[in-house]
Amino acid sequence: MPRGGKREGAGRKVLGATRRVSLTLPAELWEVIDETGQPLSTVLRQIIIESKSLKKKMNLKSIEES
């Protein structure tokens, strides 16, 4: 039975394209991020998803109010 090596379906699933970025934030914000206990990429992904969701909700409200 073979061990190790590349196998179909093995490994982490790809979430998307990888880009390296440099991010400068105040120390207080880095502390908030560190306190989550999650990787920075996870925190940023959640913020972006929530922001997009909020924008959609806000857009729907403005249409309903018209």
Locate 10 and state its tokens: 């093995």
Mark the ranges of the chain whose per-residue pLDDT is less than 70: 1-3, 60-66
Residues 6+ apart with CB under 8 A from 43: 33, 36
For the stretch 26-39, pLDDT in tens is: 999 999 999 999 99
What's this model's pTM, rounded to 2 decimal places?
Answer: 0.63
Residue 11: predicted pLDDT: 83
Residue 14: predicted pLDDT: 84
Spatial contact of 41 and 33, defined as CB atoms under 8 Å apart: no
